Amino acid sequence: MSYQVFARKWRPQTFDDVVGQEHITSTLRRAIEKNRVAHAYIFTGTRGVGKTTTARILSRALNCEKGPTPDPCGECESCKSILSGSNFDVVEIDGASNNSVDDIRSLRDNIGYTSMGGKYRIFLIDEVHMLTKAAFNALLKTLEEPPPNVIFILATTEPQKIPDTIHSRCQRYDFRRISAEQIAGQLEKICKSENIVYEKNGLLVVARKADGSMRDSLSLLDQVYAFCRDGIKEKDIRSVLGLVENEIYRDIVESVLEKNPLVALRSVEDILNRGFDLSEFITGFQEFLRDMLLFRLPGARATAGEELSPEATAAMDNLCNRFSEGDLLRMVELIRQTEASLRWSSFPRFAVESALLKMVYMDSSVSVQQLIASLGSGGGSPLLPEIHLTTSVDSKKK
């Protein structure tokens, strides 16, 4: 049997398997239980969050021989044929390549045929926003008055391109971006099931790289595991995915503390010689500074949702406590501005180097409380230079 990638092998088979979309799966389950299934849906959200997968689960739930049921058995002939894509009552259409008015007219003619044994005829149009204006108009009447037991599911990543007249005839479900913590939790379950040795920090790196997409995270996990056969380690993951190691970011932050510009400039030289992308470097630096800020703010670490090793936690505590919150925020703002400027810069290397030099020569910020305390203490201020004022009267006496 040929190898099956994780993205296909671990595709959710039931509503309970869908990660991070409980607000949608719960609604669909109750709609099936109450026999209140709509005739048309719009599933919208970014790539890889479960739109098409949820549509297929809904198709199986409605056409299962034991249903309609919110928990399809997956063993009957109807469930198996839908899973394999050979069920004639569940039709999947690619809106990008079948976007003309003639394609929709052909679909409309097909709707009139009786089912091949299923309880519902379901038409899933993926990337529906690619349809032409004439194609949308051809679909309007059918959506408004569909034949009995016919359901439309329109999936899209760009709902703003769908006409309001289509929106008004459908129930819309917005799929959320999946958090890095939820993705990492699912990846951990998969690794345990596949007997893969892993580091939690490494799985979190994969989850962050996936940027809210469960499917992307599974593809990345597949790629990483092909490289790290004996175990998934954070250092190897960063090497495979082209991500800069945290040690480089720590060196740069240390150079800021020591006011040493050479370390910062050598870091840029190093990442370029090793083939890293400067945009990826800046994105990783933002994540590193965010972690420092969350460790620095009282009580904020609990909201980060990260599990670091005791050694990594101690190192991060030691590093971030040497900065004030104001200093970290100024560093974050510098890097954020650099990220924006890289898109238009004709010399991105200098944009990054100048940002790091600004950080190195940045003066430490002083809180108002420290300023007041220093002014109120006797014997001069350690924060402010001693200021001597000479009045006009004194000058006249002299």
Residue 225 lies in a domain: yes
Residue 110 has what DSSP assignment? H
pLDDT band at 219 (very low <50, low <70, confident <90, very high): very high
**According to the model, what pLDDT value does residue 307 have?**
55
Instruction: Flag whether the pTM goes above 0.85.
Output: no
The CATH number assigned to the domain holding 345 equals: 1.20.272.10
Are 21 and 143 within one domain? yes
**According to the model, what pLDDT value does residue 67 have?**
76
Give the chain's radius of gyration (CA, Å).
29
Task: Read off the pLDDT of residues 335-352 as tens digits, 9 standing for 90 and up.
Answer: 988 988 888 888 889 999
| Domain span including residue 127 | 6-174
Structural domains counted in the chain: 3
Nearest residue to 130 via CA among 170, 174, 89, 99:
99
Inter-CA distances, 27 with 53, 143, 324, 353, Å: 16, 21, 46, 51
Q: Supply 99's token pair.
A: 């976007």
Are 191 and 317 within one domain? no
- Measured CA to CA, the distance from residue 349 to residue 365 in angstroms comes to 28
Which residues, including other chains, have CB under 8 Å from residue 63's CB and lie 6 or more apart?
78, 79, 82, 87, 89, 90, 118, 119, 120, 122
Task: Read off the pLDDT of residues 30-85 as tens digits, 9 standing for 90 and up.
Answer: 999 999 999 999 999 999 999 999 999 999 999 988 878 999 888 888 888 888 88
Are 12 and 141 within one domain? yes
Task: Read off the pLDDT of residues 230-268 as tens digits, 9 standing for 90 and up.
Answer: 788 888 888 888 888 888 998 999 988 888 889 889 999
Q: Which of 169-178, 256-265, 379-388 is the most confident on average? A: 169-178
Q: Supply 343's token pair.
A: 């898109």
- Measured CA to CA, the distance from residue 335 to residue 341 in angstroms comes to 10
**Whether the Cβ atoms of residue 221 and residue 190 lie closer than 8 Å to each other:** yes
Are 235 and 250 within one domain? no
The CATH number assigned to the domain holding 167 equals: 3.40.50.300
- Measured CA to CA, the distance from residue 108 to residue 103 in angstroms comes to 9
**Whether the Cβ atoms of residue 66 and residue 78 lie closer than 8 Å to each other:** no
Question: Considering 174, 198, 228, which residue would you say is the last residue of a domain?
Answer: 174
Are 168 and 44 within one domain? yes
Q: Give me the mean pLDDT over the 139-147 stretch.
A: 85
- Measured CA to CA, the distance from residue 213 to residue 374 in angstroms comes to 51
390 φ/ψ angles, rounded to the nearest 5 degrees = -120, 120
Residue 250 has what DSSP assignment? H
**Whether the Cβ atoms of residue 80 and residue 72 lie closer than 8 Å to each other:** no
Are 146 and 125 within one domain? yes
Residue 20 lies in a domain: yes
Q: Which residues pair with 42 in a beta bridge?
A: 154, 172
**According to the model, what pLDDT value does residue 396 have?**
44
Residue 49 lies in a domain: yes
Residue 392 lies in a domain: no
- Please tell me the total number of residues recorded for the chain in this structure: 398
Please, which contacts does 69-72 make with residues 24 or more away whose CB atoms are closer than 8 Å? Answer: 69/32, 70/15, 70/28, 70/29, 70/30, 70/32, 70/33, 71/14, 71/15, 72/14
Nearest residue to 179 via CA among 13, 20, 299:
20
Q: Supply 189's token pair.
A: 């379950």
DSSP readout, 287-340?
A: HHHHHHHHHHSTTTGGGS-----HHHHHHHHHHHTTS-HHHHHHHHHHHHHHHH
Burial class (CB in 10 A: 0-12, 13-18, 19+), 245: middle
Question: Considering 174, 202, 227, which residue would you say is the last residue of a domain?
Answer: 174
